[in-house]
Amino acid sequence: MADSVTYYEDQKLFLLTTSNTAYLIGQLPGGGLIQLYWGPRLPRLADYPVPPPDRQHSSDHARLNSLLAELPTLHGIQEIEPCIRTVFHDGTRDLRLSYQSHHIDVATGELAILLKDHFYPLEVTLRYRIFADCDLITRRVELTNRGSEPVELEEVLSGSLVLPFERAGQYRLTHLAGAWAMETQVNRTMLTPGRKLLEGRHNYTGHLANPFWALDLVGPEGAGASETAGEVWFGGLAWGGNWKIVVEQLNMPAPLTRVAAGLNDWDFSWHLGAGQSFETPWLTIGYTNQGWGQVSRNLHRYQRRHVLPAAFAEKLRPVLYNSWEAVHFAVNQSQQMTLAEKAARLGAELFVVDDGWFGERDHDRAGLGDWTPNLQKFPQGLTPLIERVNGLGMQFGLWVEPEMVNPDSDLYRAHPNWVYHFPTRDRTTSRNQLMLNLARPEVEQYLFEMLDRLLADHNISYIKWDFNRTISEAGWPDAPAEQQREFWVRHVQAFYRLVDRLRHNHPAVSFEACAGGGGRADMGTLSHFDHVWTSDNTDPYDRLPIQQGYSLAYAPNTMYCWVTNWDHNRSHYTLRYRFFSSFMGSLGIGADLNQWSETETQEAADLIASYKAIRPLIQHGEFYRLTGLSEAERMAVQYLAEDGSECVVLAFHYRRHFWQPQPRLLLQGLNPQAIYEVVKDSIEDMADSESNPLQMSGQALMSLGLTTSFHETYDSNLFILKRL
């Protein structure tokens, strides 16, 4: 069996296979599709269950088949979350789909199954793509109205999945949730009968929850999957707008576990006119029996190879400097030039001017929307600073927040109706700003022209695209009544289109997505942006669980991590600890460089040079967590070159009782027979270790481990290993 899609005509089965997993879809006599299997790949077709499922607990196959539906709709017996809810012009809300035809594209590993309603001229295509190298499958739903009457869409999810029955009742849900300054925290709960809803409904991905889920099997002793072993079924949605993931468990009487994911149907509606089509976002799904580490590595590889915009996917992320944490809105030309000189001395490669450079933007109460340089701060515009930055050998980057406007701005005074609003209601501000309605074509075009001009007139290499409020008064009164709620989807479509058009005109510019910290981290955003800002919380200890949670679903090179002066507990972190915490992804510096002493500046320069030396491993290597996802006081991660020749280990530790031994780190993914030289232990030891390097076999490193050397509160170690 090849890695891809096979149709077995006699049995009417679609078998989708990746290197290690399989997904089997069956066809019922009436043309309905059911999911028969999702799990480890098996040697023969005969090893997989075939329809009708032989379940001793129920002779009611009609009910069972509806519970196993590959694409549940509002039809027949209603017990599970439907993927599609439609209203036809005569008021009928029952959608009965059956198989018509299919197409397999062997070259691309793509399967399209065409379904049609029994009566109304509505076509639904289920599209699947196989990413065998990442052990992942993506899927989405496409609808086309072939009739002359409109169809109202009330819900269209990207897909729905059945978890294996045999194990039901033992599933544990792991998901990422948080808030501003505490994004992507790992949350876990055992499933019980009922529905668990994870969702975002703020017109962006959101801080409160992230569109990723995973279910692992918890055995009778209470142990779930570990970093290296155990079964996990997982998925993520490529959408940076309103989304939902429903995890449900029904007793029938054996528990049935399903997950449905896609666009949030909360306040959603879409008017599908005659001849029109609608596509959902892609849903990525995967299975592994190798534990949490493999979940992350599969997703990271997929993002690096297939999701991130191609222009920068293979490129190393530059070390950036950004003065937001140091000076907030009080930027000006001479101060930025001084900081640029200091940043260049440290080894920064990209100098970013954050908020405050434009309009009347001296604080967050004015200026958003007026994207021309503030001439008090930059008397000849941005060009003199950009030329100085370029002259220092660095690229120049700029912050914008295009989707927002302050009421105190020329843009808002000229176009008060461009924001979301209801005419009879006050407009609620948040951070003193309102949200532009990007679903309006004139707003999209205005922003495109403004940003296109900004990029054409300046030598800008990087844009940090921010989004600092959630929506309120979500109204679009000028739109036809039946389309007023389409903006939830149209806004995000326009946002993606805008970035793509800018990238097309300015292919050398890279883009970072930010939403008041890490509110725009998802695979949809990452298919248009090169990186995301992880969190406004840059305390190096607080960052560890945020970065660890992020690492579960997203690749390290997509995560910018800054070294700043944050220390809300007065922990007096060493510079080295701050840097090592930021080494976990793409390195940035956000501290006030004027406050660093000569010694600190020199140490920082050395640390940046060390980062650059190991950057290819961190940004493009295979990622391993050496400690559990829930361990906060002690954390260690490993980045291994794809060819296995080198690796970096970063280890962090809060504090140790006198009687506790130094923790040992059991490495992963090494060649057991090979001998590795532990070239560096910590930065201070680097020189010594050159003359007296430690050598250990891969087997010893993986079973006995490396001994840490933690001596202080908030200590950290860096190890670099090279295969001999």
Using CB under 6 A as the binding rule, whether residue 370 contacts ligand DGJ is answered as no
Which one, 353 or 502, has the nearer CB to ligand DGJ?
353
Burial class (CB in 10 A: 0-12, 13-18, 19+), 661: exposed
In this structure, are residues 81 and 195 in contact, taking their beta carbons and an 8 Å threshold? Answer: yes
CB of 380 to ligand DGJ, least distance (A): 24
In this structure, are residues 437 and 487 in contact, taking their beta carbons and an 8 Å threshold? Answer: yes
Q: Is the dihedral of CA 304, 307, 310, 311 positive or negative?
A: negative
Residue type, 38: W
Contact range with ligand DGJ by CB under 6 A, out of 170-178, 295-303, 514-522, 566-574: 514-522
Which one, 468 or 689, has the nearer CB to ligand DGJ?
468
3-state helix vs strand vs coil in the chain, percent to 5:
25, 30, 45
SS (H, E, C) 501-534: HHHHHCCCCEEEECECCECCCCCCHHHCCCEEEC
Burial class (CB in 10 A: 0-12, 13-18, 19+), 659: exposed
- CA 531-534-538 angle, to 5 degrees, is 130
Would you give the binding string for ligand DGJ spanning residues 137-176, x where CB under 6 A is met? Answer: ----------------------------------------
CB of 515 to ligand DGJ, least distance (A): 7
**Cα gap 407→411, rounded to integer Å:** 8
Who's near 90: CB < 8 A, 6+ residues apart? none
Which one, 321 or 533, has the nearer CB to ligand DGJ?
533
Task: Check if 536 is active-site.
Answer: yes
CB of 399 to ligand DGJ, least distance (A): 5
CB of 357 to ligand DGJ, least distance (A): 11
Which of 514, 532, 636, 647 lies at the binding interface for ligand DGJ (CB under 6 A)?
514
Comparing every residue's Cβ against ligand DGJ, the nearest one is 355
Contact range with ligand DGJ by CB under 6 A, out of 22-30, 478-486, 513-521, 549-557: 513-521
**Cα gap 483→323, rounded to integer Å:** 43
Which one, 533 or 579, has the nearer CB to ligand DGJ?
533
What string of DSSP letters covers 113-136?
A: EEEEESSS-EEEEEEEEEEGGGTE
Which one, 455 or 514, has the nearer CB to ligand DGJ?
514
Contact range with ligand DGJ by CB under 6 A, out of 486-494, 510-518, 642-650, 701-709: 510-518
Would you give the binding string for ligand DGJ spanning residues 413-452, x where CB under 6 A is met? Answer: ----------------------------------------
**Cα gap 383→517, rounded to integer Å:** 28
Locate 402 and state its tokens: 């295009």
Contact range with ligand DGJ by CB under 6 A, out of 191-199, 509-517, 625-633, 692-700: 509-517
Q: Which of 355, 536, 542, 715 is the catalytic position?
A: 536
CB of 170 to ligand DGJ, least distance (A): 40
First vs last C-alpha separation in the chain? 38
Would you give the binding string for ligand DGJ spanning residues 315-334, x where CB under 6 A is met? Answer: ---------x----------
Contact range with ligand DGJ by CB under 6 A, out of 75-83, 343-351, 512-520, 544-552: 512-520
Which one, 38 or 399, has the nearer CB to ligand DGJ?
399
Region 378-417 residues binding ligand DGJ, contact defined as CB under 6 A: 399
Helix axes 333-346, 598-620, angle to 10 degrees: 70
Using CB under 6 A as the binding rule, whether residue 536 contacts ligand DGJ is answered as yes
Which one, 145 or 433, has the nearer CB to ligand DGJ?
433
Would you give the binding string for ligand DGJ spanning residues 640-659, x where CB under 6 A is met? Answer: --------------------
In this structure, are residues 120 and 112 in contact, taking their beta carbons and an 8 Å threshold? Answer: no
Region 331-360 residues binding ligand DGJ, contact defined as CB under 6 A: 354-355
CB of 448 to ligand DGJ, least distance (A): 22
**Cα gap 210→198, rounded to integer Å:** 8
CB of 468 to ligand DGJ, least distance (A): 5
Which of 378, 533, 554, 560 lies at the binding interface for ligand DGJ (CB under 6 A)?
533
Region 468-497 residues binding ligand DGJ, contact defined as CB under 6 A: 468
Size of residue set near ligand DGJ by CB under 6 A = 11
* Chain centre distance of CA 398: 23
Who's near 149: CB < 8 A, 6+ residues apart? 88, 89, 274
DSSP assignment letter at 436: B
Nearest alpha carbon to residue 340 among 279, 280, 400, 394: 394
**Cα gap 69→73, rounded to integer Å:** 9
Which one, 321 or 324, has the nearer CB to ligand DGJ?
324
Which of 517, 524, 588, 621 lies at the binding interface for ligand DGJ (CB under 6 A)?
517
CB of 355 to ligand DGJ, least distance (A): 4
DSSP 3-state assignment of 598? helix
Which one, 155 or 536, has the nearer CB to ligand DGJ?
536
Q: Which of 466, 522, 530, 681 is the catalytic position?
A: 466
In this structure, are residues 321 and 348 in contact, taking their beta carbons and an 8 Å threshold? Answer: yes
Which one, 399 or 579, has the nearer CB to ligand DGJ?
399
Which of 255, 516, 556, 698 lies at the binding interface for ligand DGJ (CB under 6 A)?
516
Sort strands 232-237 and 283-288 into parallel, antiparallel or unpaired.
Answer: antiparallel
Q: What residues make contact with ligand DGJ under the rule CB under 6 A? A: 324, 354-355, 399, 466, 468, 514, 516-517, 533, 536
Which residues belong to the active site? 466, 536
